[in-house]
Structure 1
């Protein structure tokens, strides 16, 4: 038998009367910085528990979850399953995720989460964090591995600090150490870029704006270079140095994300295809499916 609950931010309710013995649960949240929080969560359910969850965190970001006791999993509504287990660290990127938390019966569950927003990540990591974020709304699993000895020491100290409400500085130090170990291993190394002449940089920024604003046009590298006054090779190399990707790849990403937004707003597949530069909806559908892992038609079914 399952207890089925729904979580909306910090509140919960049940669609049916719960048994007399309610699951023991609670979360302790501490805001350490603008965009950085630590959450200590406990569960102990006498029966298997399912929570419908709309991620309470606004915008997108990264969550690092340390399993301190027991195990559970999170099943994204249209995406992957994410596991949380004692002695393991789970790193996920999120963007307005919807799904279900599954907690087994009997076994106590204790988890500590560090939640970092995109704003916080940008301040500490620059643009490196962008490669970790999901291409569309949902959740993306970045890592699931045994918790290191170094992390265990910081975890113990942070947990004691939270429970005793001790120095906020010490809490911040331990949280940064835990995040640093995980994120530095996952995110790309910063690029040591060569100097780009001011005039060339202005042309590259202009090309970037064209790609953002003219997604419905057949934008080739040759056309883009001619339009901004740079050779194809110089444009490609300079664009990569400034934005971390090629013009072609950037254009493809923007087209797919724009198409996803159009489909979510109720437009038809053919309309989304034409709005993102595709003459044939079948070619668009193939590209969309390769990019997101599901067909454009699935967006309409999700809204039903």
Structure 2
């Protein structure tokens, strides 16, 4: 599979595959193709080391056949998760069928850095590729996939690309990674406590971004359930509730300083002021327009 660099939206709308590097060892690939004849082309994994690929089928279907190895299927509405190590084979697409796929490609080093050493258990022990999951793409992934497509087409914010990509990674890999060894009841390791404090700091410092539990968990290297439980243990509140409270209190301060409702909404992660107004009214018991400058 040949990868090209997409530099603008016109390139993005043409046929082919474009690779967008998000981080050391993490890349986002987008494939758009409608071959007039059945297509068979040589393909190989893009990293020199082992890793994981998440393929989200948006349109059509295709398959990958490893030389002297297994077949991997990709189709619309399904997510295929594969682990690889120096795999080479053929990518096949049927004639006249539009194929649209978005892939997240993470190296072993990246997985260890973000998800811990437990992620290594999912990787092949020898050269090749193996399927870890083939399942319907959950509805919760839809918003992230649409956001990534829009951001790629418009050369959008790099941090927004990173957030949506990590959210998808966390959501898909949560059920595949082996659970970490549980500490003694009522105890928490120092490393986990540090990660949970790190997640709290991310919330406080990035209130204007669309934070999700999956993104926070992937970014600090903890499972979602472990992050929720640890957050509750350390701070007596869930991450979601803490994020909501921080956003509302920050918004109140902004309104008091004289900012408009729309400005306060965007500064606290809301893209629609009407949603912000409803959340603010539910939290404080009065609408944001009732906040007076200097109140």
Give the aligned partner of residue 128 of structure 1. 118
2:119 pairs with 1:119? no
Give the aligned partner of residue 91 of structure 1. 81
CA spacing shift, 1:87–1:98, aligned 2, 3 Å: same
Identify the match of residue 145 of structure 2 among 148, 151, 155. Answer: 155
* Count of residue pairs brought into register by the alignment: 176
2:53 pairs with 1:53? no
More strand, by proportion: 1
2:182 pairs with 1:187? no
Instruction: Kindly report the root-mean-square deviation, in angstroms, between the aligned alpha carbons of the 2 structures.
Output: 1.7
Aligned-pair CA distance for 1:182: 0.7
Matches within 5 A, 1:1-304: 9-10=2-3, 25-193=15-183
Aligned-pair CA distance for 1:26: 1.1
| Contact persistence 2:34–2:98 (CA under 8 A) | yes
The normalised TM-score by structure 1 is 0.56
| Contact persistence 2:3–2:18 (CA under 8 A) | no
Please tell me whether Structure 1 or Structure 2 has the larger radius of gyration of its CA atoms.
Answer: 1
CA distance in 2, matches of 1:88, 1:175: 17
The normalised TM-score by structure 2 is 0.57
User: Which runs of no fewer than 5 residues in structure 2 stay unpaired?
Assistant: 5-13, 188-295
CA distance in 2, matches of 1:9, 1:139: 18
CA distance in 2, matches of 1:129, 1:156: 27
User: Which runs of no fewer than 5 residues in structure 1 stay unpaired?
Assistant: 1-7, 12-23, 196-304
CA distance in 1, matches of 2:148, 2:173: 18
Aligned-pair CA distance for 1:189: 1.0
Secondary structure at 1:119's aligned position in 2? Answer: helix
Q: Runs of 4 or more off by more than 6 Å in structure 1? A: none
Aligned-pair CA distance for 1:79: 1.5
Listed one character per residue, the Cα deviations across residues 139-164 of structure 1 (whole Å, up to 9, x for unaligned) are 01000000000101110011101110
